[in-house]
Amino acid sequence: MTATMTQCLLRLVEEDYTLADYQSDIAPRWCAGCGDSAILTAIQRLCREENLPPEKTVFVSGIGCSSRLPHYMNAYGFHGMHGRALPVAEGIKMRRPDLHVFVTTGDGDCCSIGAAHWIHAIRYNMNMTVLLHDNQVYGLTKNQASPTSPRGLQTNTTPRGACLEPLNPLSVTLGVANVSFVAQAVDWIPGLLYDIIAQAHRHRGLAFVRILQRCPEFMDHFYDDAVRDPTKTRILVHGDGLRLSPEVSRIYRNQEAHDPLDMARARALASLGDEIPVGVLYRDPSVPCYDDLRAGERPNTPDLIRTVLDEEFDKVTIWPQIGATPLGAE
């Protein structure tokens, strides 16, 4: 395959980005020990490795600790309304398919107030990467129960402990029509976090990644068992999914070969009780994308819009008869 002339000319001015090119002037205002920092670093590494031009990359968020992330990226960003990150991202993708769209959202933003948008975004399967920072508590508003809080968790809104079973974002997503990519990562294994986000970015369609994230303020020591005992984490490996580095493989020996096309197993893994599955649970690149289906034969240029409107108006226009005698003039 020979490179086109444009590709050659682009190569003349190609830039090699560094991590600093994606860091904004604003220092992250997350608590020390917060898992969001690990996610931010993984994203910045991905941008650098994939050489994504900052001006061609957009981060969209809703409200919450996680949703501060666009401020810390030197790229386009949209800190949207609570729960509305996905509709904004869909609008961006529809109008600017050339942009790399990332959505960062939290367990409250996505699974509570934004749940309707979440379900339909999965069904639309537009080409973007959605990162759900799931710390299982409302951190920004200081300790209230979220839809994913474990039963019995004492918070300001549940002083006697949360009385409902938590919602499982993985099994909900896997149950929606047109789902095409579901993965789970944890913020305390940075190598895997990067690999999973990279696979999500390369997937064509909506890639949904739930990231279990530590909150040192309100969920302190919640994940200590999993962090200290590698056998509590079940790593999903496959030729089409994660391939572990020897270093990770040595520490995390609890591994399962899981074919990402196997939906039944993916659903069973999503509901594992005592272990945390990490890796690509489901991937089907053949699911059609809404942005492709709706792209139409031609882009809606101003000229085309005007033409089509004129055609429609012409259907109901009454044209004056040329040469006819005006009424009452005979």
Partner 1 sequence: MAQASMPLARPTDTPDAPEAGSAPEAVALRPALFARYGALEQLRYDFPLVLVEDDGDGPVLQPLTQVMDAIVRQTAAPGPAGEALRQLVLRLEDAIRQRVAGGESDTLANLCRTCAADLLAASQEPPFGPTATNLDRAREALHVDGLVIDCDGATPKAVLAHAWKSVHAAKAKEFRKKIDGLILRLTDILKADFTRSDEAHTPAALESAIGASYGAAFDFHALSRVLSRGRAGEGLPKERERRIHWVLFVLRSQRFYGPGRSSERKPGQPEPHGFIFESCAAALDAFRERLPAVLEFVKALTIAELEIENKYRAELHDPVFERFDESDLSAEQLALLPASLVCLRDGRTDTAETVQAFEALASGLSIKVLIQTDDILGGTSPEPSRTAFGVGSARLAAMAMGLNSAYVFQASSAHLCRARERLIAGLRHDGPALFCVFSGAVETAPHVAPYLLAAAATESRAFPTFSYDPSAGPDWAARFDLTGNPQLTADWPLHRLEYQDQAMQRHGEEVAFSYIDFAACDRRYARFCQPGAEAEWGEDMVPASACLESTPEANGGRRPYVLTVGPDDELRRTVVDEKIIEAARRCNDAWRRLQELGGINNSHALRLLARERAVWEAEREREAPPPGAPEAAASAVPTVEPPAEAEVAEVAEPAAAGDGPWIEVSRCTTCNECTQINNRIFVYNDDMQAEIVDPDAGTYREMVEAAESCQVSIIHPGQPRNPDEPNLEDLIARAESFN
What is the rounded end-to-end Cα distance, in angstroms, of the chain?
A: 76
Residues 6+ apart with CB under 8 A from 56: 98, 99, 100
Query: Residue 238, interface with partner 1 (CB under 8 A)?
Result: no
The most distant pair of C-alpha atoms in the chain lies apart, rounded to whole Å, by 102
Q: What angle do CA 144, 206, 78 make, to 5 degrees?
A: 60
Query: Residue 159, interface with partner 1 (CB under 8 A)?
Result: no
Which of 123, 202, 250, 294 binds partner 1 (CB under 8 A)? It is 250
Nearest-angstrom CA–CA distance, 23 and 20? 5
Query: Residue 37, interface with partner 1 (CB under 8 A)?
Result: yes
Q: Closest CB to partner 1 among 15 and 274?
A: 15
Binders of partner 1 among residues 162 to 221 (CB under 8 A) are 187-191, 214, 216
Which of 25, 274, 314, 330 binds partner 1 (CB under 8 A)? It is 314
**Long-range interactions of 321-330: CB distance < 8 A, separation 24+:** none
By C-alpha distance, which of 229, 234, 283 is closest to 257?
234
Exposure string for 97-126, b = 16+ CB within 10 A, e = fewer:
eebbbbbbbbbbbbbbbbbebbbebbebbb
Q: Calculate the CA dihedral of residues 106, 109, 110, 111 and round it to 10 degrees.
A: 100
To partner 1, the closest distance from the beta carbon of 309 in angstroms equals: 11
Q: Closest CB to partner 1 among 56 and 151?
A: 56
Which of 159, 297, 317, 319 binds partner 1 (CB under 8 A)? It is 297
Q: How many residues bind partner 1 (CB under 8 A)?
A: 52
Q: Closest CB to partner 1 among 273 and 302?
A: 302
The tokens 């279990």 sit on which residue? 212
Which of 298, 315, 320, 327 binds partner 1 (CB under 8 A)? It is 298
Q: Closest CB to partner 1 among 25 and 303?
A: 303
Q: Note the residues at the interface with partner 1 (CB under 8 A).
A: 2, 4-6, 9-10, 12-13, 18-19, 28, 30, 32-35, 37-38, 40-41, 44-45, 53, 55-56, 98, 187-191, 214, 216, 227-228, 246-247, 249-250, 297-304, 307-308, 310-311, 314
